[in-house]
Chains A and B, each alone.
Chain A
């Protein structure tokens, strides 16, 4: 008596106890879910000792928040008084938002100028122009104000930005809501007849973060239920039995509940990437249950004369090994996410692995226990599969099964050609997370970011910290040189620093003589300029530029491209300048944008590593189970094929390898391995029962294959619904899940059989002993090893 039959005996004897136990566990975890806290703070996702995060902490400790939220106002002419008064109201409204610790706008920015013997530091706009002449005078004065021109107001005077620096503990959601309220209150007034039309958008990194997560959540909420219904409907068409549909589905939902309930139990929080958890489990976890139900149906032949209990018992005995094998490989594959240094990605791996483990246990215990209690159904449709009446789907499947072994070589060749051809697209794959690529050009987030990048000097900043005696002309000159160098970069728009202010004052105090548009030579003069400034400017004016004791300065370079690649490049460019000037006063480069870019890059690179690792582990496990190197190679083959396909399609379709798409490949490992193992296992059994390879392939298709195909198609149908979403990332998401499932399915059910027929690997061939004794489906080689 094997261990699996001991388990089977127990399950059949005490089904109610098992069902109660699973229900109790699920309810326990479900009760934990409300305790789960949301944490969308991106910074927390990186280990605290990571360089970018250390740098950001340092910058924030010196200068407070560097993350910026913006309001962009567009108009035929910004200087039109009505528009100006609206901007003023927005500026005031922004200063009242406690999530912002400093607001820079046309109404807070300063102008330093000389007039006769006077030095004037005043607001960039002191009063609203009352007539056309006044407006032109203001236009000239703003055009001469280097702190404002091309930075807070576009050079064509059609756009202006109001920039708010976030406090360190600001909540994105709260802030964005307040900004939206501010804008919508004003918008109501503009709607009124006769009002001057203005377009007002909110933008910047916090706004992008919020709209990405909310839009994604919203669309998922809208489309995922439709997808689930589609999935269920498809499963019903396949199995024609409510239990065949509901049991694997209930098991999947239970696995999702348990894994989500684990989040607060482990003291973790729900992060942005955690939304992938139910998706991964939906695609992967129902696999095991479907096989159990399919086997139950398969064995329930009119001539079997078996009871529900007998069939359940038999299902457990027969499937324990393949289900455990697929479960263990899938779990190992998912645990490869642990290779990430990004905390939520690691957590995602553990949570998904636990969910799969629960689904595996449930498929071996809970589902058969339930089945054993239910009255025996009519033999299902599939028993007729090999007889004359087929459903359309069955007929198609049979036709494929019939043709695969016959045209094995051409199929392998064709698949290789298609995979390699598509795979060429991988060369065009861009590793970049540019949130703007997710939005249509009419979306407000896209508009604001576009205007900020094209007209207003950039959407987010990279900081360079300078350490030394900031009043020292040598240090200031080095800051000035760095700024000039930074502005040469294609992705850098405007830059700000204390050096620019000192230069401007030197120019103004020398009656605008261009020869003095430079840092003065005397340290005392610099100190006196700064003292002079303090007599008419605001004490907070330099808050983001220099620290209180004048020991550190910040050079802020705004980046004009919203992709992570641009941010990384600007940082690299700055760092190489710093390396060339290692004797300079520069301390470090960083900022919130850099942390974001670093986070995304770590996820993407980490994911590539984790995929490679998981494919290797799959090979090792399958090779070990089947005691064959060829088995290892065959198990990895469909995965590699699927990988090539998916990266190829992404390359051609212009979908970047980003945060979400990289993590999605975990699904591929999960499902790809399962399909392959199920196929190989059954095929070997069929061969050992004496069937000839081609017949064994057909038989495998008709039995286990049917479950695999139905399962894969149902998931495919379910996720295809996401392609109806108007939101690009969700659409990509659906497309990529569909492609990866389809590729794994084709790999396992078409290419693998073809290969097996061509090469007839020895580990799948019948052994001497196989003809005798064992039943037609009893596994041979590993049967000497314990079941688990």
Chain B
């Protein structure tokens, strides 16, 4: 009896220890299963790539005094070259004085963008040349770099903490430019992204200037799953607040559709110049 008791006690302890060790190792395995910060960002970049889309966006820029400039743009995007090139076309719908103005951009993965602009009042198309990604997108607080898919290798990433944004559990990931040149071109010394843990979409971001001070804050709401098959998301509402000059820019989508079959001819000079 005593022996049995002893054995039983031993086996209980053994089992407990076994489960403890096994449980810990299981937990450990789960932890190492979590994607690295870089992997998260690769997924983020992927979820943004829609085969094609059509949208109507209202772009509002507010200055410190609360005065507003509002423009309405109809736009279409489509991936070409097996996803290596995204072509975009914007047509201004309002205000009346810029109606018909068109912008066509070819966003290449491995070389600087090509951009053409058509001015209906001049009936001419001009190529515009931009050297820096830190430049403002149409006078807004969004830079071209903020709106385009970042080149993953330009930054080193680090997972700093987890935090929830509007009830959604997010990773907070820090991105530091790998070279001074990239930092200068982007205009930031540091970025923080709040990435949704399951959707891999950005919900919030902070951008820091070269001195390390907070420059801009991005909030994203109303993110929609547009392409459920490929898990592609787009957000309907983005707001960028510039802490330095007090300006805010709001991009609000009135209409946003997944349109993989968007016509190729939209992304041509001929279509750009069409009234």
Task: Tell me the A residues contacting B by CB distance below 8 Å.
Answer: 96, 114, 116-122, 126, 471, 509, 520, 522-529, 531-532, 534-536, 538-540, 547-549
Contacts and interface: CB of A to CB of B under 8 A. Distances in A.
A535 B138 contact: yes
Interface stretch (B3-11, B114-122, B151-159): B114-122
Contacts of B263: none
A272 B245 CA distance: 33
B140 interface: yes
B140 A549 contact: no
Given A540-B245, A549-B67, A549-B69, A528 B120 contact: yes
Contact of B129 (A122, A525, A531, A549): A122
A126 B136 contact: no
Contacts of B135: 536, 538
Nearest to A529: B119
B138 A509 contact: no
Contacts of A525: 119, 121-122
A126 B120 CA distance: 30
A509 B124 contact: yes
A199 to B, nearest CB: 29
B40 to A, nearest CB: 32
Contacts of B120: 524, 528
A523 to B, nearest CB: 6
B130 interface: yes
A529 B126 CA distance: 12
Given A531-B98, A535-B138, 16 more contacts: A116-B127, A118-B127, A119-B129, A122-B129, A524-B97, A524-B121, A527-B121, A528-B120, A529-B119, A531-B92, A532-B119, A535-B103, A535-B117, A535-B137, A539-B139, A547-B67
A529 B95 CA distance: 14
Contact of B130 (A531, A536, A539): A536
A528 B65 contact: no
A117 B121 CA distance: 17
Given A509-B122, A529-B119, A549-B69, A534 B128 contact: no
Contacts of A118: 126-129
B122 A534 contact: no
B161 interface: no
A768 B229 CA distance: 126
B201 interface: no
Contact of A536 (B101, B125, B128, B245): B128
A308 B147 CA distance: 94
Contact of B97 (A520, A528, A540): A528
A116 B125 CA distance: 12
A527 B138 CA distance: 13
A385 to B, nearest CB: 76
Given A539-B136, A548-B69, A509 B126 contact: yes
B122 A536 contact: no
A535 B128 contact: yes
**Shortest Cβ-Cβ A-B pairs, 9 listed:** A534-B139, A527-B97, A525-B121, A524-B121, A528-B119, A548-B67, A119-B126, A118-B127, A548-B63
A532 B118 CA distance: 9
Nearest to A114: B126
B97 A532 contact: no
A520 B135 CA distance: 27
B128 A122 contact: no
B247 interface: yes
Contacts of B127: 116-119
Contacts of B139: 534, 539
A536 B140 CA distance: 11
A441 to B, nearest CB: 39
Nearest to B117: A532
B128 A528 contact: no
B65 A548 contact: yes
Contacts, number: 88
B211 interface: yes
A97 B272 CA distance: 44
A556 to B, nearest CB: 20
B122 A528 contact: yes
8 contacts: A471-B97, A509-B126, A526-B97, A527-B97, A535-B137, A538-B135, A539-B139, A540-B245
A532 B121 contact: no
A117 B118 CA distance: 12
Mostly, the B contact residues are: loop
Give the one of B115, B138, B139 with max A CB within 10 A: B139
Contact of B211 (A96, A126, A529, A547): A96
Give the one of B65, B120, B122, B125 with max A CB within 10 A: B122
Contacts of B119: 509, 525, 528-529, 532
Contacts of A523: 97
Contacts of B247: 539
A539 B140 contact: yes
Contacts of A534: 136, 138-139
B2 interface: no
Nearest to B131: A122
A646 B25 CA distance: 99
A529 B122 CA distance: 9
Contacts of B103: 535
Nearest to A120: B129
Contacts of A114: 126
Contacts of A116: 127
Contacts of B101: 528, 531-532
B128 A119 contact: yes
Contacts of A524: 96-98, 120-121
Given A531-B101, A535-B117, A548-B69, A117 B126 contact: yes
Contacts of A527: 95, 97-98, 121
A526 B139 CA distance: 16
Given A528-B98, A534-B136, A538-B135, A522 B121 contact: yes
Contacts of B126: 114, 117-119, 509, 532
B151 to A, nearest CB: 21
A119 B115 CA distance: 11
A522 B129 CA distance: 25
Interface string B85-97: 0000000100111
Contacts of B67: 547-549
A539 B249 CA distance: 12
A520 B140 CA distance: 26
Nearest to A101: B245
A59 to B, nearest CB: 15
Given A96-B211, A524-B97, A540-B245, A532 B92 contact: no
A96 B135 CA distance: 19
A540 B135 CA distance: 11
A234 B138 CA distance: 75
A534 to B, nearest CB: 3
A543 to B, nearest CB: 9
B169 to A, nearest CB: 35
Contacts of A536: 128-130, 135
Interface string B177-211: 00000000000000000000000000000000001
A549 B61 CA distance: 11
Given A523-B97, A527-B97, A120 B136 contact: no
Nearest to A542: B139
B14 to A, nearest CB: 67
B129 A532 contact: no
A114 B127 CA distance: 10
A522 B117 CA distance: 18
Contacts of A547: 67
Nearest to B135: A536
Contacts of B95: 527
A399 to B, nearest CB: 76
Nearest to B130: A536
Contacts of B97: 471, 523-524, 526-528
A96 B98 CA distance: 36
A739 B65 CA distance: 55
Contacts of A96: 211
Contacts of B117: 119, 532, 535
